Each structure stands twice: as C-alpha cells, then as structure tokens.
C-alpha cells in the first residue's frame, strides 16, 4: 500500500500540510495566492507544485490527491467583519466545491470560523450534492491542542459515498442536485449550535498569571 497524498487549497503557510506530514501523508501540491505565504511555501515545500489564484485554476490539469484540505477564507463569516457571507466577493467556498467535484479526492477536510453560522448548511449540502457524506461538524478550540488561547474553529470532514457516486472530474453534477437538495432538506441538518465541541484538553488560558493570552 502506498502513502496517502494531500493537496492543500488556500494553503496559507500550510498548517494542514505540516499536520499531514507528521502523520506520514505527503503533500503533492499547494494552492495559495498571497505572496508572503507563497514565500513560506517555496521555502518549506519546494518540491510540490505551487499554484496561485484558485479561481483561475483548471483542475483538469491537477493531480488528484487522496485528501483535499481547504482553509477557505473566513473574512465573509468572521465576527470581526461585516458578515456578508455568500454576498462577500471573498467567499471562496464555491472554489472548494469546484475542486472536489473535479478531483474526486477520497476525503475533503475544511476549516473555518464559528461565524460560518447558517452557511454551514450550504457547505454540507454542496458536499452531499457531489456525492460526499459529511460527518457531524466539530468545533475544536486551539487550547484543546495545547495553545495558550481559545481560538475556536469549525472542522468539516467529508468522505466519498460510493452509493451515490456519479460522474467524476466534472462540475456538471452541480446543476443536477434539486432531488438531492430535497432529500437533504428532509433530514436534520447539523448547525453550529449542535456541533460536537472537541474539548480535548482543559482550558489553560487562565492558569498562567501575566501570560499573553488571546481570548
């Protein structure tokens, strides 16, 4: 059995890639448009191809990985912003959906802020529409893995559902989803207020007096 492979969409400085590398999973490409992040990626991941603007990328020319990760931009959903959601031009979730529909990875792993709110329904519906099963979203704070601050993040994990698998490497399935949408609407949708909260470690943010803590 060969090693699993990973493709990082909206890679940033590739925290996903680092975590997967620790697990023995090889990153085969990165997609990141920010020049500073690109500098970091070229320094620490010089061998995998580095692609720029995801909106211009032809996924037909990209190698399909076993795992697609995507920390898609959080600005449209962050409590610190205007929270315009889908109306915000910086909402690039549709690019994750497009990549998944074309590449057909075995797993899709996404991360975003709790402010994602009701848009989580859109994310889950889109993944189901392209024949993925979605696990209950998980909220994990940074403190749960030893960081000195809370920084809650929503994790969405989807895997291929062979029973519903249709055409591959094509976006045309996105136009044929009305029946699946009706079926999905009949099921209970997991929203953020019903997400499992992954408290894997005690909250240590108040244990060290005088330490720099980001709430």
| Residue positions annotated with a catalytic role | 74
Question: How far is Cα 54 from Cα 95, in angstroms, rounded to an integer?
Answer: 7
Question: How far is Cα 186 from Cα 64, in angstroms, rounded to an integer?
Answer: 33
Side-chain-side CA neighbours of residue 96 (13 Å): 30
Q: What is the 3-state secondary structure (H, E, C) of 21-70?
A: HHCCCEEEEEECCCHHHHHHHHHHCCCCCEECCHHHCCHHHCCCCCEEEE
Q: Give the bridge partners for 50, in sequence order.
A: 30
Q: Is 182 exposed, middle or buried (0-12, 13-18, 19+ CB in 10 A)?
A: exposed
End-to-end CA distance of the chain: 44
**193-211: string of b/e by CB count within 10 Å (b at 16+)?**
eebeeeeeeeeebeeeeee
């Amino acid at each position: 059995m060969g090693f699993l492979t990973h493709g990082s969409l909206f890679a940033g400085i590739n925290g996903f890639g680092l975590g997967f590398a620790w697990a023995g999973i090889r990153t085969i490409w990165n997609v990141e448009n920010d020049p500073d992040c690109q500098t970091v990626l070229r320094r620490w991941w010089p061998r995998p191809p580095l692609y720029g603007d995801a909106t211009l990328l032809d996924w037909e020319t990209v190698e399909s990985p076993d795992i697609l990760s995507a920390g898609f931009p959080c600005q449209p959903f962050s409590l610190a912003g205007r929270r315009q959601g889908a109306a915000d031009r910086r909402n690039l979730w549709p690019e994750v959906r497009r990549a998944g529909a074309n590449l057909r990875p075995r797993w899709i792993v996404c991360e975003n802020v709790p402010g994602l709110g009701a848009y989580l329904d859109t994310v889950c519906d889109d993944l189901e529409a392209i024949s993925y099963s979605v696990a209950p979203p998980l909220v994990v704070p940074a403190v749960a893995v030893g960081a000195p601050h809370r920084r809650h993040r929503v994790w969405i994990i989807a895997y291929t559902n062979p029973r519903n698998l249709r055409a591959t490497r094509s976006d045309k399935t996105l136009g044929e989803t009305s029946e699946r949408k009706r079926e999905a609407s009949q099921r209970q949708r997991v929203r953020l207020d019903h997400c499992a909260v992954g408290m894997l470690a005690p909250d240590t943010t108040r244990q060290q007096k005088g330490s720099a803590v980001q709430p």
